[in-house]
Structure 1
Amino acid sequence: MSRTAVITGASAGIGAEAARELVRRGWQVAVAGRHPERTAHVAAEIGAVPFVADFDRLDDVRALADALQGRFGRIDVLVNNAGGLVPQRALTVDGHETTLQRNLLASALLTTLLLPRLTESRARIVHTSSVMNRLGGLRIDDLDFDRRPYKGGWKPYAAAKLGVILYARALAARTGLENVAVHPGYVRSGFGAGSSSARVVQSLTAPLQISVEAGAAPVVHLVDTPELGVPNGTYFDGLTPWGATHRSATDTRLGDELFAAVEDRFGSRIRTGDTA
């Protein structure tokens, strides 16, 4: 039986490269991206199935969930890879700070909507985080950064990526499904293309940067390895488990508070024990 992986943020970068490698290994892949032409191009190139959704619009995420469940009777792995740095603070059409929605809220909504299908197949969920989580500073009372300096998008990005780790661990505890988070590495890509500070950082870290193929390798490993041999909720730095995190990444209470706050944003609930 062909295994099916859904990869968001797969119209370019490590998402596209991971999709390419997984197809080569015999996986059926759903390529989800926000740019119609790029998404269609990647899918056509590798023989995958394209799905277009802009994570800055939660209605697009709802439509994506419906389309995925209509197309696939089984989903073995969901890779929540969509995200990015937003240099100037703005709210989405849904009223949420864009960095928060793009990196965390939209993926959480997609996961929640797909949960019945994911539970049926005892799926694994892979969440793309970042080493930037170590600068997190997550505040439940200010998830939208309307009370703190935006700092060119870096502070909310770091907070959102810390939130990804906390959310993954809280989701694992509530559902029993295998959840892992991963920092792919300092990938040589178009990250933060609209940000002058991101371009400076890319220039300064050039000697540390790795290829897109190398950045996709940890994602492919986490998708394609049957037994990871690590506790549920483990954060990987590249291929190495138990990567360094912000001190609050293991704060169960903070994770619970974040989980509740995320659910409040889109009105869906995962009750403990419902899907374990």
Structure 2
Amino acid sequence: MGAERVVVVTGASSGIGAVVAEQAAGRGDRVAVVGRDAGRTRSVAERVGGEAFVADFARLDEVRGLADALRQRYGTVDVLLANAGGLVSKRGTTVDGHDLGFQVNHLAPYLLSRLMLPALRAAADVGRDARVVATASAANRWGRIRFDDLEGRRRPWLGGWLPYCSAKLAVVLTMKELARRESAVQAFSVHPGAVVTSFGSDSVLIRVGTALTGGHWGTTPEAGAAPLDALVSDGPVPAPSGTYFDGLKAGGRTARQAEDPEVARELWERSAELVGLPSR
């Protein structure tokens, strides 16, 4: 489409995020490689020919700083791949006062997506396909959004799996609500599959599975990156904005709440309040 596309990939210092960053750069896209670990993030950026941005999603001030840096650097952004997050096996509270898993998997990506909308709309204004792609999980099917306990502080922890499921359901709902609210920017969520990466490295269940299978309990990062890369790539997506993909299949199975527009609306508004943004 003429001008060089700008693709922002969070969680790109390793795993599927690093693979997508490399593939996007290989197509000629200008890639912002975002990660928490400065050394690994810069290493990936140098390897793929991208630009490194370091931010810890456990700190919302760093997410705001990241958004400022990205907007100042690029002006327009074609794709935001919100891929950062993961299983948090031990309860924790961030400096912002939120549950750690809820913040890194939902609140921080929500905040970044909201703050990057002006740059995404700017790309749409010049006739480019602008979209937010968020890494979700099939685990959303076992999640539940409870507005009387949104961060899951009063619910069983179960090694972090129950709050992880609920946070990934929140990701699916957020992309559906973003699609409803935005006509210029598309939004999609996607389950990459069970990928053998550093995901859940502190989880007893993951460690046992790795030991029993010799590390072969899931697919490779390259295979897991494929459905993300398909949505990041230039060209039309064969599904309406707001669609949840299970791998390359549009309309994957979700929790019942994922189809409730009122839950999506209230989650958006409550999340806005928690990160200090207006609901619109």
The structure-2 alpha-carbon separation of the partners of 1:162 and 1:223, relative to structure 1 and needing over 3 Å to count, comes to: same
Provide the residue aligned with 1:124 in structure 2.
Answer: 131
Identity %: 48
**Where do 1:1-276 residues align within 5 Å?**
1-122=3-124, 123-176=130-183, 177-202=185-210, 209-271=218-280
Query: CA, structure 1 residues 156+48, in 2 after alignment: closer, same or farther (shift >3 Å)?
Result: same
SS in 1 for 2:148: helix
Please list the CA deviations of residues 222-241 of structure 1 after superposition, one character each: whole Å capped at 9, or x if unmatched. Answer: 01141112111101111111
Distance 2:191 2:112 in 1: 21
What TM-score do the two structures reach when normalised by structure 1?
0.95
How many residues matched?
Answer: 271
**Other-structure match for 1:274:** none
The alpha carbon displacement at 1:200 in A equals 2.5
Distance 1:244 1:208, change over 3 A: farther
Structure 2 Cα separation of the partners of residues 83 and 97 of structure 1: 13
SS at 1:228 equivalent: coil
1:117 to partner: Cα distance: 1.1
Q: Is the 8 A contact 2:132 2:188 kept in 1?
A: yes
d(CA) in 2 for partners of 1:68 and 1:129? Answer: 23
1:147, distance to aligned residue in structure 2 (A): 1.1
- Distance in 2 between the 1:219 and 1:239 partners? 9
Give, in whole Å, the separation in 1 of the partners of 2:160 and 2:95: 19
* Paired residue type of 1:244: R
Q: Equivalents in 1 of 2:147, 2:63: separation in Å?
A: 23
Does the 8 A contact of 2:268 with 2:279 survive in 1? no
- Unpaired stretches in structure 1, ≥5 consecutive residues: 272-276
Compute the displacement of 1:113 (Å): 1.2
The two structures have a TM-score, normalised by structure 2, of 0.94
Q: Unaligned 5+ residue runs, structure 2? A: 125-129
Q: Distance in 2 between matches of 1:150 and 1:139?
A: 15
Distance 2:238 2:137 in 1: 22
Deviation, structure 1 residue 201: 4.2
Aligned-residue Cα RMSD (Å) equals 1.3
